[in-house]
Structure 1
């Protein structure tokens, strides 16, 4: 698929068919993810891939809020049909260590050096490559988060080491027709002249 077609066709898919995702497609998603840029070539990301039904059920059991403020039943019913879940994680410590190495400017491993948490920025870039690769593979995908109250249960269920923090989760599968359109169905895309400032604000 041409790159501009990938960009135009990328959307968040929230319901999937029962058709399985080939293992080679999953491998390509991950191989492209690690081609993302990263500060200092730190590559401080990791990916927890859940393809077995029992593992996906463990994920949803750990991360579904007990009492949501607004109903999530429709969203969950669709998202739980995804045959692949990829949890994207990052390591702040990897960046602090990398930028204390001889070729970098800081000898003190201090988060204050970082006005922006590039560990999450880089994990987000890797996530976008997964989303775009999914389109190129003829698949649908959706990036979503884990609620703050559910993070401890997720970490315990999957024995995530303390160093690693999740940035988000990507559901992947074959898009089902008639799935929820989400916010883009209710909100317009902002035109360039509202968001682009040339020379000054």
Structure 2
């Protein structure tokens, strides 16, 4: 598939069929993810692959707050046969930038203009999403509720030095599913609302099309 087509087809898929996902496709997603850029070439990410029914069920059990009836979103997402949790290590970045070629030997977090450990992990997650499209699969990136992170760590043996940036469900899209709620009502913002040339508000001409 051409790269432009991959970008255009990428959507957040929130419901899946029960068809098995080829492990080779998941491996390809991860091989692409580790090619993402990272500050200082720190590569302070890690990926927890959950691809058995028991592991996926345990993930939802420990990351879903409350004991009430799951929402429509949750019921759809739970149909995914694979979950990839994208983790980031802040310590890896603080250590890397305390090395001689960087020289921030105080490891001060306030030096960072943004938490690049999560920025870089997010770029790796995008490569997973795009590779899923290229494999003819669907995927959705979502967050792990902060209050549920301790239970997630305990359930899967994740060390304290890593925090989840988010998780990606992967599977074959359910062709009968339709967008719901606010997602169905929203479209892409106009090009000139988000792209500025020369100065804020500077017009850039016609650009990308709309779409969900």
- What TM-score results when the alignment is normalised by the length of structure 2? 0.90
User: What residue ranges of structure 2 are gaps of 5+ in the alignment?
Assistant: 201-212
Separation in 1 of the partners of 2:130 and 2:183? 18
Cα deviation code 1:84-109 (max 9, x no counterpart): 00000000000001111111131211
Separation in 1 of the partners of 2:33 and 2:118? 14
Q: Does 1:56 align with 2:56?
A: yes
Instruction: Count residues in correspondence.
Output: 199
User: What residue ranges of structure 1 are gaps of 5+ in the alignment?
Assistant: none
Match of 2:149 among 147, 151, 164: 151
Separation in 1 of the partners of 2:178 and 2:162? 32
Poorly superposed stretches of 4+, deviation over 4 Å: none
For residue 179 of structure 2, what is the aligned residue in structure 1? 181
- The 8 Å contact of residues 13 and 180 in structure 1, kept in 2 or not, is answered as no
Q: Does 1:167 align with 2:162?
A: no
- Report which structure shows greater RCO (CA 8 Å, sep ≥6): 1
Q: CA deviation at 1:73?
A: 2.1
Report which stretch shifted further, 102-111 or 17-26. Answer: 102-111
CA 143–47 in structure 1, closer or farther in 2 if over 3 Å, else same = same
Q: CA deviation at 1:160?
A: 1.1
What RMSD, in angstroms, separates the aligned Cα atoms of the two structures? 1.3
Separation in 2 of the partners of 1:141 and 1:15? 9
Q: CA deviation at 1:4?
A: 0.8
Q: Secondary structure of 1:171's partner?
A: strand
Q: CA deviation at 1:188?
A: 1.7
Q: Secondary structure of 1:46's partner?
A: strand
Q: CA deviation at 1:67?
A: 5.6
Q: Does 1:194 align with 2:181?
A: no
Cα deviation code 1:66-125 (max 9, x no counterpart): 067xx7521111111101000000000000011111111312111011020000000000
Match of 1:73 among 65, 71, 91: 71
